[in-house]
A = this chain, B = another copy of it.
Amino acid sequence: MEPILVRRCRFAVDPVEGVLRDVDIYLEGGQISCVGECTEKSGIVLDAHSMICMPALYNAHTHAAMVLFRGFHDDAKLEEWLERVWRAEKRLTPGIVADASKLAVMEMLSTGTAGFVDMYFYPEETARVAEEMGIRALVGPVMLENMTSIEKWVSETLRLAKNLEKGRLVRLVVNVHSLYAAPIEAVEAGLEIAARTGARLQMHAAETRREVYAVKKRYGKFPVEALRDAGLLTGKLHLVHMGWATSWEYRAVAEAGATVAHCPVSNMKLATAGFLPLHDLQGEGITVGLGTDGAASNNVLDMFREMKAAVLLQRHSYWDTRVKALHALRAATLGGAEIMGLRAGRLKPGYEADLVLLDASSLHLQPLRADNLVSALVYAATGSDVAYTIVAGRIAYSPEKASRFSREARRIAERLNSFFKEETMVRGKGASPSGLVSR
């Protein structure tokens, strides 16, 4: 692996120390080894005099291959949409998941994401694609009680863990869908796998009011209470959504050292109405990451847009501006890195060489200065401003790769759309939720 010299960044942002001007960044052996004057270094040189350099972003919760269902009946009522997606998911094949995962990974790399925590079917396909494309990922089979048994799921998870051992970028995450779609015994079994493999256990929790009451009905307790009282609330857990939890559940999460993924766009688009108290949680020392959730409920995998949405949702819900751009930036970088088990999210020697370079000349970033740079990254930038994404010291996305990604995406999109031919026939003409399709 050849070292990379990122030369003379116009601006560089470390989410803790601040904004630097005109610095070099040198990457070798997959790590940052110099920030500042690194002039006598050799390797691949990236001229960054018109770029903003920052740590790459981590998507703390997604269902990558669900780009397949981007815009699929997504304005229908929630129940109708879910039913249609579930019906279509029965027709999934490893090949379709591989294609869709590749499309998702290209979208993530091209928008500055260096890693993602995934939950979906055929995780071995997503793992293979992630390794090939050079993005970090946590993947694992999903425990859903109407689709598999605990025993079968445990053995599949352990088999995948073994296969992933030789990988460079992809690791296991133990995936239990939720307490409403999996028995609490699955969490117990999952934590055993987590202890054996060093993985985290990811589950949806407290996403909707309906779910919270379903769990209450089943266990007599709210989701986090049920986990805690069963002795299953540990620092290994990664809890997703958490918009409908109580204050004492958040305190229990803090005490246990579990991590949380906040998915503001998905929560708003699905009208869950819940909102995670980001400021309080970060204040209590809980590690919070940001997630796009699947493209079916977002509809993009752009972490820059997610950062802005996070601040907007908090401010609207709390009637004040206590949540700042910097809180979102830290969640998307440092928070996500910790959830993924990485020493990353900083521009400092010894940290992982996961970087993003953005084009500082974009119209919507002007006039750009050191004092409004964090604001520009969170409130103005989108993934489309990303010029380079570097993952583990390798250039995974660049202007040169952009056209290759486009060509590949066109081929994949054609294959994926043929998946919908059957759906379209079932639906019939004019049955689109918007009532708009004609000719």
Contact = CB atoms under 8 A, between A and B. Distances in A.
A416 interface: yes
Contacts of A20: 438-439
B363 A106 contact: yes
Interface in A406-439: 406, 409-410, 412-414, 416-417, 420, 424, 427, 432-439
Interface in A265-287: 265, 267-271, 273, 275
A252 interface: no
Contacts of A68: 367
A273 B316 contact: yes
Most chain B CB inside 10 Å of its own CB: which residue of A326, A405, A435, A437:
A437
A315 B75 contact: no
Contact of A299 (B21, B275, B380, B432): B380
A398 to B, nearest CB: 15
A380 B75 contact: no
A221 interface: no
Contacts of A313: 268, 312, 316
Given A70-B367, A300-B380, 10 more contacts: A13-B436, A18-B436, A19-B438, A19-B439, A72-B372, A75-B325, A268-B312, A269-B315, A271-B321, A273-B316
Interface of A: 13, 17-21, 67-68, 70-72, 74-75, 77-78, 103, 106-107, 110-111, 265, 267-271, 273, 275, 298-302, 305, 309, 311-313, 315-321, 324-326, 361, 363-364, 366-376, 379-380, 382-385, 405-406, 409-410, 412-414, 416-417, 420, 424, 427, 432-439
Contacts of A265: 312
A412 B324 contact: no
Nearest to A412: B366
A77 B370 CA distance: 20
B271 A363 contact: no
A382 B379 contact: no
Contacts of A372: 70-72, 74
A208 to B, nearest CB: 10
Q: Closest 5 A-B residue pairs measured CB to CB?
A: A71-B372, A71-B375, A384-B384, A268-B312, A18-B436
Given A312-B268, A316-B313, A372-B70, A409 B366 contact: yes
A423 to B, nearest CB: 9
A17 B438 CA distance: 8
A80 B379 CA distance: 19
A376 B70 contact: yes
Contacts of A405: 363
A103 B363 contact: yes
Contacts of A319: 271, 273
B367 A416 contact: yes
B312 A269 contact: yes
Nearest to A304: B382
A324 B78 CA distance: 12
12 contacts: A18-B435, A19-B439, A75-B325, A107-B364, A270-B315, A301-B364, A313-B316, A361-B406, A361-B410, A371-B420, A371-B432, A382-B382
Nearest to A315: B271
Most chain B CB inside 10 Å of its own CB: which residue of A17, A20, A70, A405:
A70
Contacts of A427: 371
Contacts of A374: 434, 436
A281 to B, nearest CB: 19
A380 B433 contact: no
A376 B409 CA distance: 16
Given A107-B364, A361-B409, A75 B375 contact: yes
A312 B311 contact: no
Nearest to A298: B379
Contacts of A373: 71
A420 B301 contact: no
Given A265-B312, A268-B313, A316-B316, A75 B321 contact: yes
Nearest to A416: B367
A379 B385 CA distance: 18
